[in-house]
Amino acid sequence: MNGVERFGVSMAPDLLRQFDAVIAERGYTNRSEAIRDIVRDYLVEAHWEQGDEEVIGTVTLVYDHHQRDLTEQLTDLQHHFHSEIISTLHVHLDAHHCLEVLVVRGPAAQVRHLADRVISTRGVKHGKLTCTTTGRDLV
Ligand code: NI
């Protein structure tokens, strides 16, 4: 491989055995690939900590659409954050429950604020922000 640097890592044998067991279970065939993914995840997380950096992510929501005014409130919020919400997916899970996935993009602090507002809306049973990256700065 071109442009690859090797480095040694010292680790307690027990810690390394546990690491090897977990990465094998997750389908990695070698430590290097697992460590590269862990480093990328760490970099994405650091990117999110810089409030004005452009980030991308998804907000997943589960709610009961029979809850009074909830659908209207969620729609109002999504219109308020129209610059940051680039796509939405709605699945009618059963007679009551809806699953919604918002694809969000924008400055990290603004995207977190949007996620907090939507997830904390009364009647949302579960909500989670998944932080990922545009991929541009990752090798
Ligand atoms: Ni629905």
pLDDT at residue 3, rounded to an integer: 87
pLDDT at residue 139, rounded to an integer: 84
The residue behind tokens 């070698």 is 30
Mean pLDDT by 10 residues, the chain (139 residues): 86 96 96 95 89 93 94 96 97 97 96 96 96 86
pLDDT at residue 31, rounded to an integer: 95
Do 44 and 66 belong together in one domain? no
Domain count, the chain: 2
Cα 124 to averaged position of ligand 1 atoms, centre (Å): 13
pLDDT at residue 1, rounded to an integer: 52
In a domain, 94, yes or no: yes
Cα 43 to averaged position of ligand 1 atoms, centre (Å): 36
Cα 66 to averaged position of ligand 1 atoms, centre (Å): 10
Do 44 and 85 belong together in one domain? no
In a domain, 87, yes or no: yes
Q: Rounded CA gap, 20 and 14, in Å? A: 10
Cα 89 to averaged position of ligand 1 atoms, centre (Å): 10
Do 45 and 113 belong together in one domain? no
Cα 55 to averaged position of ligand 1 atoms, centre (Å): 28
In a domain, 74, yes or no: yes
Cβ contacts of 81 within 8 Å, gap of 6 or more = 104, 114, 117
In a domain, 138, yes or no: no
Dihedral sign (CA 65, 131, 55, 53): positive
Q: What domain range includes position 28? A: 13-49
